[in-house]
Chain A
Amino acid sequence: MIKRYLTFFAIIVTCGLRLVSQAVDHQHDSPTYAQHEHNEHDGHDHSGHNHDGHDHSGHAHTAPANAQPHAASHDDHAEFDAKATAFHHISDLNVYNIGPWNLPLPCILYASGQGLSFFSSSKFGIDNAHHGSGHYAIDRYVLNEGKVMRIIEPTFPMGKVEIDGFATQETEVDGKKKYIDLVNYQGVPLPLEKSSTADGGIFGGGITGFYDLSISKNVFAMLLVIGLMSLVFISMARHYKRAPGTAPKGAQKLFEPIILFLQDEVAKPFLGEKYARFMPLLLAIFFFILGLNLFGQIPFLGAANVTGNLAVTMVLAILVFIVVNLNGNWHYWQHILWMPGIPAAVKIFVLTPVEILGVIIKPVTLMLRLFANITAGHMVITIFIGLIFIFGKSGESPGAAYGASIGSVLLTLFMMAIELLVAFIQAYVFTLLTASYIGAATEEHHHGHEEASH
């Protein structure tokens, strides 16, 4: 028994050590990454042990060469910024990053007055070492840490133009931190704009100068996972048709219990006899969420945070909202708009507004719950891994990093186990609530019972 524990411990330690050694290697390799940043133009050295001026710790926190005089820290050792790292890792990108590689993806960009641009993100000259930032601007578009942005300056030349690097300017507006992304072009920092988002400014986005309709990392993961699942389900369906009444084989064995569980424990109790009509929707929701949740947790496959992106959960929630309200029967609408047996004043001033709010809040909670759970899981894992770098102070104290790696690997393993559970639970909860909302909207109303209960 003790021997087994010791073996387990040894494995964990070995894993941790390997992880740290990689991190440390990363550290010392930095000269190769640095070219991208600003060294070519300024030539002065910020970091102690670097040849080329830029200390890249994976997620360095230092000032670009051509920064303004009041620019930030000129530490010898750059600090690891866990928050920024986590933010980067959960973002949707225009490259598919696996390990140190950033594989190009197709960019479909639209800007008014400029029209539609379609090209591969490899055209930006992706720098694998630096989170996939581009060396070139293409028609005023640039690739900043894997994400396409646009140079606001209208006089910036079109076509392929070499740029010097990126930075972010942190300003405080009314006590709130605001970040502006900058591109360095011929020694001048130019502000960038992000692609338009549909949050209407609530979360800091909004309509900007261009729309990014690319096959992004998330879209690619979605196409891959949903494509694969579609093939599996179609081949399953074909097997059922070809050999009806035979014992399940292969994928059937895996999916049959899940499908039957959803049918018998989710669809039938909430939807009654109408369950068959909504089964394709419920199965699509469940497998869409589950497949992408699980795919996002596979290490070394990019860990695409698809279901942790508000756009994805928003689409699902809006579709559920549409299905629920299109299928709502007279009884459902009566209860929302004009609840029987309640004084008119109460109805007008309290009940109806609350009920209408409820109709909107239900899909909003669906949207936020899935988004928050998956994004939080991805961030926590990133930050736990980041503990190694925090303790190691970016290579300054490798001993602490080795020590931290043990704890980090244990915590990450634990977190991944939890996330595996969360992947299933969130897919199940989303499906269950969808079924319950549809069930409530389509419930047949028994008059006698209702009268008695009021």
Chain B
Amino acid sequence: MLKVSGLQTAYGRSQVLFDVELTIGEGEVVTLLGRNGMGKTTTVKSIMGLLKPLAGEILFCGQNVRGATPESVARRGVGLVPEGRQVFPTLTVRENLVATAANRLGRSDAWTLERVYELFPRLSERVDQSAATLSGGEQQMLVLGRALMTNPKLLILDEATEGLAPVIRREIWGCIEALKGEGQSILLIDKNLSVLKRLADRHYIVEKGRTVWSGDSAALDRDSELVHGYIGL
């Protein structure tokens, strides 16, 4: 589904990514691990077209999307849940979900408001409230719901549980697990290694802008010393 190889990206003159490799198959849940500042979010931004990579290849469903605009990447079926709570604050919960909803790939089991409310009952209690009045966790659920309403082939969650209360975190993890059960392909970026190990099929570790390790959860356990060296846990 997604194949990234030899990815190089820079902010102005300072190069951040040197050689990032990453592959996600149909229905797979894959994580991107690494300490802060190692290039995880930069990788996501490069995939989304929010940053223009210098070199490398980004294939999405067999098509090269390197250098494409964010809207065209999103239209091909990549849904992003970015860092921070990026709702549209003055719109209501319902408006946030409906305004940008789309089913561009013509999925038969398309997401509906009802299904999103079922997934996040908290949102259904606040349908006509403006998004600015939601708690941090609810806002993050709303952003996730908004992404689902575009019926993405690949969902990217960039630190979606950062700074949330443990209860809310568990709720979001539960949803991701449910999505995985439905065969949704997901790229996860998070710090909660124990959950990720349980949830994800495979893992990639980036260190100073290079993919330095990859393997499944069993391999992650086996190489735990090496992994801890990279992630610093």
A and B form one complex: no
List B residues at the A interface (Cβ < 8 Å). none
